[in-house]
Chain A
Amino acid sequence: MQGLVLDNVSKSFGRVRAVAEVSLDLPDGKLVCFLGPSGCGKTTLLRLIAGLEAPSAGRILIDGEDITELPAHRRNVGMVFQSLALFPHLTVAQNIAYGLRIQAAGKDEQRKRADELLELVRLPGLGDRHVSQLSGGQRQRVATARALALKPRLFLLDEPLSALDAKLREEMQLELTLLQRRLGITTILVTHDQREAMTMSDLVVVMAEGQVQQLGPPLEIYRNPANRFVADFIGTSNLLDGTVGEDGSVSIEGRTIRVAARPPEATPGGRVTVSVRPEDVHVLPGAHDGANRLSGTVTFVRDVGASVETYIDCAGTTIVSHATPKDRASVSPGDPATVELPQPACVVLTT
């Protein structure tokens, strides 16, 4: 069996349950993001995988081998820490070769591997620099090189880009993704930045309150959120409360909304939430009747250049629409307007 398996893993700190019965089966060679708000247990989960914390219950397996009891220094995982944790008393090359030094490798071998890795992270010739002489992006690359020096089974990254400025962060995101594809190493990236998760990962694990909310490819999670939390946390979403009708449509504010698909838990008469992404919402000037349409009043229009955001109050619920400047409806605050919610974009959530 290939890949990383978490089997009912829990971790409590005193009375606080940081990770609650998480079971995951992550395929080999993929880049997986643990995504969630701060305090959702994503970092704890990563530390459990690295062996820096011991689980209160459950098992962790790599390629079929149970590593639950294995201490961190025998797991052979490479990790990039949030603070990067570069050793200030060592040079760049000594930092990268630290693991080899611990294994009592020869000086020449250490130097050779350090040079190889510096080449890999595009920092050739910086081996003799001191860590304090490096820029933020260079430090980030050295930490990456150091984590990969021992050819680890897993590559773990704990919010490694959070200290960089926005432009550099996007560059490093691309660079890390390309590096991961080249090496084909199973990689787990912890982040609270959903944009980072969406752009970098093959698979996203959305977490909240110590539990996995949804696991899937980024677009799948964006298009078909599993519950209210995911719909709200990943991007922005219009969440509309309604009641399931006999024919499977959902009734919201007395209007019938035909939806993309009805999950089996949504039985007729039950309360559900319909999630619609703002970019799927069409705005029509004036009041119109018809299926999948709600009428209201424009409260606010924000033109941010690349897109126009229109806020419409429909009987107390604010619905947001994002449109390109080309498709914008000619409405201004105070005007009556109708929002059209296309059927394929209406996702029914039961929790």
Chain B
Amino acid sequence: MTAGTNRETPRYGVLGYPTLMLGVFFLGPFGIMVAVSFFHRVPGGFYEPAFELANYARFFTPLFVEHLVLSMYVAVLVAVICVSIGFPFTYLLTRLPRRTQVLWLVFLLSVLSLSEVIVAFSWSVLLSRTAGVSNLLAWAGLMDKPASWTPGFPAMLLGLTYLAFPYTVLMLYPPLSRLDPELGEAARTMGASPLRTFFTVVVPVLRPAILAGLIMVFVFVLGAYLIPQILGRPQHWTLSVLITDQAIYQSNLPFAAAMAVFLLAASLGLIALTLGIGRRAGLRS
């Protein structure tokens, strides 16, 4: 009995360290942010401790609601694009020889090493009228003259998709490579073409992975604040951009904190909803 207890203690000790770090570096700042969201802003200065709901009251303005809806819309759109390209891509990738797979994964990892700033500026150059790919298309005779594709909504979507795509693939890779190939082969012997096998077996079997991928990209895009600024017009700015703007340029930390809390709550609610729908669909089938 005592031997058992002795063995248990160090195990909890090991867990204690990450718990402590998480508390100090995550829960602490988060608590401060929640507190600040109720503080009173001192115009021209900083803020002072108070308890007022004025920051939250500002949400009920058309401008704020518009940006919230836009942020959700962009995040959902990019998540759907990333997963609907990334899932078939990763599925085909796992069917390739091991060496080819490793090369692709190394390439995707190297894309991950690029910061959001570099990605944003590279795309803004590539999509520009003066130095972008449209020059090549005009030279090849596919276009009359070079055009400017940035800033704009499609440019912003492209940049965000580019940024989130490697994460999508890396997230879908483990479940897809663990998928028993005999499942697909069984479908083939029962008369399903490769395409029908993909949609009637591979996709439904991996629905949890697809859902997880969608949620991850959604959350990831919600937090992106540089690409919308560089590749999008002001009317395309997501809530994250507004938060940055309020916190850094307007020095309105209480309002920025309130927006951050609200964004977090809204996205958690949406994720819970998605998971709920996913589970109900799982029970039904």
Contacts and interface: CB of A to CB of B under 8 A. Distances in A.
B189 A88 contact: no
Contact of B188 (A72, A90, A149): A72
A99 B180 CA distance: 19
B103 interface: no
A89 B207 contact: yes
A97 to B, nearest CB: 10
A103 B190 CA distance: 9
Interface stretch (A23-31, A77-85, A179-187, A275-283): A77-85
A98 interface: yes
Residue of B185, B193, B207, B285 with highest tally of chain A CB at under 10 A: B185
A102 interface: yes
B192 A73 contact: yes
A73 B207 contact: no
A150 B207 CA distance: 28
Contact of B189 (A78, A90, A103): A78
A207 B261 CA distance: 68
A73 B192 CA distance: 6
B190 A146 contact: yes
B191 A87 contact: no
Nearest to B186: A85
B180 A52 contact: no
A88 B191 CA distance: 19
A82 B200 contact: no
Contact of A50 (B189, B191, B196): B189
Interface string A145-156: 011011000001
B285 to A, nearest CB: 6
A74 interface: yes
A72 B189 contact: yes
Contacts of B190: 73, 78, 98-99, 102, 146, 149-150
A128 to B, nearest CB: 12
B23 interface: no
Contacts of B191: 73-74, 76, 99, 102-103, 150
A53 to B, nearest CB: 10
A79 B189 contact: yes
A192 B18 CA distance: 50
Contact of A73 (B180, B183, B189, B204): B189
A296 B204 CA distance: 68
Contacts of B92: none
A190 to B, nearest CB: 13
Contacts of B143: none
Interface in B205-230: 205, 207
Contacts of B285: 89-90
B189 A87 contact: no
A82 B185 CA distance: 12
Nearest to A147: B189
Contact of B182 (A85, A88, A149, A150): A85
Given A83-B180, A99-B192, A102-B190, 19 more contacts: A50-B185, A51-B188, A51-B189, A52-B189, A71-B193, A72-B185, A73-B194, A79-B186, A82-B182, A85-B180, A87-B186, A87-B201, A98-B190, A98-B200, A99-B191, A101-B200, A146-B186, A147-B189, A150-B190
